[in-house]
Each structure stands twice: as structure tokens, then as C-alpha cells.
Amino acid sequence: MQNSINWPQEYTPGFTDNFCSNEVIVAGLSTAEVWKYLNDTRYWPHYYSNVADVRFYDGYPGTELYDNARFFFKTFGFPVEARVTEYVAPQSGEPARISWHGWAGEEGSDERLDVIHAWLIEDLDGGRVRILTQESQRGKPAQELAKAVPNPMINGHQEWLDGIVRSAKAQLAV
């Protein structure tokens, strides 16, 4: 049985304004090999064209995510403030997890967008790894994104997944 994302109640898919889910299963990679390309934000702009200006708050000098990390980045035309809400580094037999609450716009305004962007990476039998990313969104911008065809969230997150896989495979080829 495959694992699933842990959702805060108010972000349960189906009860929010927009939801997207992307997943890849790849042979020849492990959770440990994939993890660094998600966990370390310095890699993001190298393989994902829709992210820029990643920076951390609270005097943190590093580039790796951690439990309760407060950070900023730009994506999908939004300046996103974020805080890590779940952080489970790879452990034998357990899925790795990262989730963050992201927000843009003034609270209570029509421009306000609130999201939970969650990631799950797990080793599967046969030397395969599963990378799942899902995002559940609330607010008027989310309602508009839900109507867009093609869906920019699905396409953007697929690029993010494909970039992580390419980066991890390239590391193995060295």
C-alpha cells in the first residue's frame, strides 16, 4: 500500500478551491538520492523554471529546508511567503515528507491565496522511488487557477518532478 499526504483539515482536497496532484515512479533511484534536490532550495532554479528568489528568514544562513523553516520564493507569478509545516527526512522503511503553507496577498482580500504544498518520497519494491506532490489551495486566485486550461499547476508541478528526477539521475551518472 502506498502512503498518502497528511492534510490539515481546512486543506482537505475536495473542500478547497483548487487541488492538483502529480506523481512519478522511477526505477533506479532511491528516496535518499532524490531528497537533496527537493530539500535543498539552491537546486530548485537549476531544474525548475518557475521558481526564483528563494530566501530564508530568521537569520538562517543555509539553503536546506527544515522543520518550521520560514522562507520566501516567487512562483506562478506570485510572491509566496511560506512556512514548513511537516518535515520528515528520509528514514529506512518510512516515506520522506515536506509540506509548507504558502500565502500571497493581504489576508481577507480578494487577492489572497493560501496553499498547502506537500511532497512525499518513498522507496518502492524493485529499486523504484515514488515522488508525489500535491497542492490544495484556497482563495479567489485559486478559483481562477482551477478554471485554467491547460492547468498551470499540473504542468508546473510536473516540470518540478521531472527536474528532480533528471537531477538525481545526473548525479548517479557522475
The tens digit of pLDDT for each residue in 15-56 reads 999 999 999 999 999 999 999 999 999 999 999 999 999 999
- Residue 63 structural domain: 15-173
* 33 located within any domain: yes
- Domain assignment of residue 26, yes or no: yes
**Long-range contacts of range 10-14, CB-CB < 8 Å, 24 or more positions apart?**
10/138, 11/115, 11/116, 11/136, 11/138, 12/136, 13/134, 13/136
pLDDT for residue 77: 77
Say if 164 falls within a structural domain.
yes
Residue 9 in any domain: the answer is no
What's residue 173's pLDDT?
Answer: 80
Q: Tell me, yes or no, whether 105 lies in a domain.
A: yes
Residue 5 forms part of a structural domain: no
| Rounded distance between C-alpha atoms, residue 50 and residue 44, angstroms | 9
Question: What pLDDT does residue 29 have?
Answer: 97
- Split into its structural domains, the chain has a count of 1
- The answer to whether position 154 is within a domain reads yes
Q: Is residue 96 part of a domain?
A: yes
Residue with cell 500565502: 103
- In this prediction, residue 114 carries a pLDDT of 97
Return the C-alpha cell found at 65: 529546508
CATH of the domain at 125: 3.30.530.20
> pLDDT for 103-148, tens place per residue?
999 999 999 999 999 999 999 999 999 999 999 999 999 999 999 9
